[in-house]
Structure 1
Amino acid sequence: MEPLERLGPEHLRSAMASYRDTLRAHRDEINRLNVYPVPDGDTGTNMALTLESVVDAVDDAADDMGALCTAIARGSLMGARGNSGVILSQILRGLSDVFRELDSAGPQDLARALRAASEAADAAVSKPVEGTILTVVRAAAEGAEEAGGQGKALVDVVERARSTAADCLDRTPEMLAVLAEAGVVDAGGLGFLLFHDALLHVAAGRPLPDPEPQPEPSGVVVADHNGDKGKEGGVADLRYEVMFFLDAPDDSVPAFRQAWGKVGDSIVVAGGDGLWNCHIHTDDIGAAIEAALERGRPRDIRVTDLQEQVEEERWVRQGMSGGDSEEESAEESGSSDIVPTAVVVVGGGEGLHALFRSLGAHGVVAGGQSMNPSTAELLAAVEAAPGNAVVVLPNNKNIVAVAEQVDALTEK
């Protein structure tokens, strides 16, 4: 295809869908890099879910730039999940604020939009930290401005923004000690880099990139790092993530941020026009909510136990480091002592397999809603399990019949 000279509303709509698709494909890759601010392995998931909401919103929007940008900003704000999702919503809001005034966007418009995205993201975070997605977005804006100032075409501006952002992403471990300790780059930064790939897919017909193998973070960092208050941007060993929407006047938000600064960290407050998506890590859930009640109406309150999330992620990573294949796992199970009752689990995805193994499953068989294991596969796992009796956990009603057939075929 001929490269686009300008982005129209139909191209922006397609770019959001492509960005969602590539975040879906890279979700697990991004999750594995997630060690900051909390090593809970959900950055890729949260960014992908945020884009799911964006695409749902733009599907119902009129085909003009103003309506589309309003839908992108609103959809990302309402669908944002976690720290990374809320920051991403501000990035998309910044882009939308520039694009909404245009019929179509050219090279210099894109550069202005990336700068607005960087400034909006920085403004949402109470304590911006270098070496995170914020730094990568700023680098992309600088690259785009440089190329735009040289009179480069739209695709060239996107390529320059991407290459500058990629170089910055590679240097994030030099800026943030926890990344260097873990031997990884910033997870959110990688998620944002994929936005440029989505633009290049739409503007130049480039294929979306396949996920690449990433180094597993150091086990010490994943197991033990929670940070100390005042260190690495103020991330503390705080128990809970609290999120909610806040209906409040825009001029009340600075005081709200200040109040939150006394009760927690990892604070992101995104939005505008009376509606805010609020995120904090804290030990005092009540105080976090009371600060909002003093200034407006919090709703859709969500509380997550971060220690439980981190522990679950540690189990998964330990399980994944314990064996590189299903064959190794089966060999280990076959060589272990006979137990009175063994457990065979059906599950979908590498992460779930690792989690089940780390929790003591003697056999794991690939399967799920759209991929039922065969009777032979399940029977082989049962026969290999080191138990006089075997409990099969099908984890899906469609697999119960297969499990019942296995019961008739084995003597266990």
Structure 2
Amino acid sequence: MKVTHLDGEKIYYSFLSGANEVISQKKVLNEINVFPVPDGDTGNNLASTMTTIIEEAKFEGSARETFKSIADAALIGARGNSGIIFAQYINGISMGLKEDDRISISTFAESVKQAVPHAYAAISNPVEGTMITVIKDWADSIYSLKENAADFYDLISGSLDAAINSLKDTPNKLKVLKDAAVVDSGAKGFVHFIEGFARFLHTGKIEELNKDSFGGISFEDHPENVHNEFNFRYCTEGLVQNEGINLDSIKKELKDLGDSLIVAGNESKARIHIHTDNPDEIFMILRNYGIIKQQKVDDMKSQYDSIYNRKYKIALVTDSIADLPRDIMDEHQIHMIPLNLMMEDTAYLDKLTITSENFYDLMDQVEEYPTSSQPNYKVVESIFASLTEHYDSVIAITVAKALSGTHQTVSNAAELFIKAGKKIDVIDSKQNSGAQGLLVMKAAELIEKGYDHDEIVDEINRLAQKTKIFVSVNTLKYMVRSGRVNKVTGIAAKIMNLKPVISLDENGMGTILDKAFSTGANTKKIVKRIKEIKKKETDIRYAIVHAGAEERAAEYESTFKEVIGKDPEYIMSISPIVAMSAGIGCVAIAVMAD
């Protein structure tokens, strides 16, 4: 039976068929991903985009409303360069549709062609030889076939030849593809989508969505001569929601903060993609345009290292509460799971989309004090999926489970892979901040020395009991605002000028260890504690962390270098989430009896 018009039902199921086809090709798309950076996640990003379409789009009855539902879902779920370009193109088609109940071949052809400039306009610097080129060539083919196509299947299947030829030609348009001897990954994903779309029009049967009966393409070569040049480190994405968003204004403000900029959207949503070294700057700008509904930051360097430049067979993971300098994490290829910091109805990614510096500026400005929440389960699952594919085993060291649900979230995600035969251990550090950082650093050193997985887990569990952190809190104002100290206690502390020493007990629970009534007396109490530890232990290593208190941190360095007899392992600013509770001006020393 010929399909001369597309109604809502046929559009809906054709899209689902196309989406399923892309998802089924995820692994191959990851493997050939070399542009714009070889971070091996184009398949993941396109699959995530398609999954959201499957889950969120609705059959609305009329063709136009169904297409609009799909376009909205694509924009909400868009991930990565290719996912966002695809979503923008689908939104362009949706906006160009005039017919309501059913869409004719002529209307469809006009819409897919007119949507091409819409997709190009979203990209700050369009590069030919990528998905956008294949989209353009496919749309031109559709437009040229519209007069002679017998029905929609004839139209779509006929246009596949043009799309496949365009895909095969991508290495001739983009040198990085020719050097790697692969076609463009995102473009290949688009061709697979059209392939699946055509399959449903041909069969009309949902049960055949994932079958391989329809003639397709392979191009399953692994890339060669993969480049390792990164202009910027983080693939950063956000979804902003508001009425009357000015997409051009967003693009103008962000264009000098990175590359691979795409600003896609419609009258109420903006999906942003950019490669940058400072994701926090991006989101400090975006918060002025509306409510930030989604945030995602991928460390492309870390992704590249996992695939092409692994130093070790064991992957080491920690969460963002562990305060450990970026250069040490890079040296040992340590992976980070960000917690969420909730502020102004937005979930910021700790240490990524919000840093200590811009958080301190906002702490006293916001009406409702920020809160924290554990990592997103899907984010953790995705990290484990990538690591278990490239490493023999994984060790994850989390913030004390007594302080956060992070340990349970990470454990739950790990269990999925453990049941599948992967070797993962999740360790409760019973610590936070610099103390957790020291444990992670020690685990990294043991991996480097060639210790086996189980030996490292046993040693870190042992050292967790011999690690402490002593926090000098400058004011209890922030602990009161965060709810960790009641207001009555806070008022009394202010009157008495109380300067408590905060620590964690053997189970990782926070406790007031000592009380002092001046900064000097507070420091003396911590010095006394350190001296007591030094009497019992022959080798101590330590770190100093602070919240916007560089001068006090420098004083600590001088004081404890004399007490302990060596330099600290590092000095750094603490996680915004830790600062949220401890407050601006706090300083801490973390010690580990090694």
Please name the residue that 1:356 is paired with. Answer: 391
Give the C-alpha shift of residue 10 in structure 1: 0.9
Alpha-carbon offset, residue 308 of structure 1: 0.9
Using the alignment, how far apart are the partners of 2:244 and 2:307 within structure 1?
Answer: 37
**SS of match in other structure, 1:7:** strand
Higher relative contact order, chain-length normalized (CA < 8 Å, sep 6+)? 1
- Determine the structure 1 residue equivalent to 2:48: 49
1:351 Cα deviation from its structure 2 partner: 7.4
Matches within 5 A, 1:320-339: none
CA contact (8 A) 1:117 1:137 kept: no
Superposition pairs for residues 7-156 of structure 1, below 5 Å? Answer: 7-59=6-58, 61-99=59-97, 101-150=99-148, 152-156=150-154
Deviation at 1:54, TM superposition (A): 1.1
Quote the Cα distance in structure 2 between the aligned partners of 1:285 and 1:263: 9
CA deviation profile, 1:177-227 (whole Å, cap 9, x unmatched): 110111000111111112221222121129655773611111x315x243x
CA distance 1:167–1:370, change in 2 (3 Å): farther
- 2:185 maps to which residue? 187
CA contact (8 A) 1:65 1:100 kept: no
Aligned partners of 1:113, 1:53: CA distance in 2, in Å?
23
Query: Is 1:169 equivalent to 2:167 in the alignment?
Result: yes
Task: List aligned pairs for 1:384-403, cutoff 5 A.
Answer: none
Name the residue aligned to 2:252. 258
CA contact (8 A) 2:250 2:263 kept: no
Q: 1:14 and 1:288, CA in 2 relative to 1: closer, same or farther beyond 3 A?
A: same
Q: Secondary structure at the match of 1:149?
A: coil
**Counterpart Cα distance in 1 of 2:150 and 2:144:** 9
Counterpart CA distance in 1 for 2:116 and 2:137 is 9
Please state how far the C-alpha of 1:134 moved relative to its aligned partner: 0.3
Larger Rg: 2
Alpha-carbon distance between aligned partners in 2 of 1:104 and 1:371, rounded to the nearest angstrom? 48
Task: Note the residue ranges of structure 2 that are not aligned, 5 or more in a row.
Answer: 314-383, 395-414, 422-451, 456-594
- The separation in 2 between residues aligned to 1:120 and 1:7, in whole angstroms, is 23
Could you tell me which amino acid in structure 1 is paired with residue 92 of structure 2?
Answer: G
Superposition deviation, residue 251 in structure 1: 6.3
> Percent same amino acid among aligned pairs?
26
Looking at secondary structure, tell me which structure has more helix per residue: 1
Tell me the secondary structure at the aligned position of residue 128 of structure 1. coil
> Are the structure 2 counterparts of residues 255 and 390 from structure 1 closer, same or farther at C-alpha, using a change threshold of 3 Å?
closer
Cα distance in 2 for partners of 1:352, 1:97 equals 40
In 2, the alpha carbon distance for the partners of 1:27 and 1:15 equals: 19
Q: Distance in 1 between matches of 2:201 and 2:145?
A: 16
Q: In terms of mean alpha carbon deviation, does 290-299 or 186-195 score higher?
A: 290-299
CA distance in 2, matches of 1:212, 1:270: 30
Give how far 1:72 is off: 0.6
Between structures 1 and 2, the one with greater strand share: 2
**Match in the other structure for 1:331:** none
Q: 1:104 to 1:315 in 2, by over 3 A?
A: farther
CA root-mean-square deviation: 3.4
Distance 2:89 2:389 in 1: 34
Q: How big is the shift at 1:139?
A: 0.3
Unaligned runs of 5+ in 1: 227-236, 320-348, 360-366, 374-388, 393-412
Q: Does 1:216 align with 2:210?
A: no
Taking structure 1 as reference, are residues 193 and 247 closer, same or farther at Cα in structure 2, changes over 3 Å only?
A: same
Asked if the contact 1:121–1:134 (Cα under 8 Å) also holds between the matched residues in 2, the reply is yes
Letter in 2 for 1:47: L
Task: For residue 29 of structure 1, report the CA deviation from its aligned partner.
Answer: 1.1
Q: TM-score, normalised by structure 1?
A: 0.71
Change (3 A) 1:391 1:294: closer
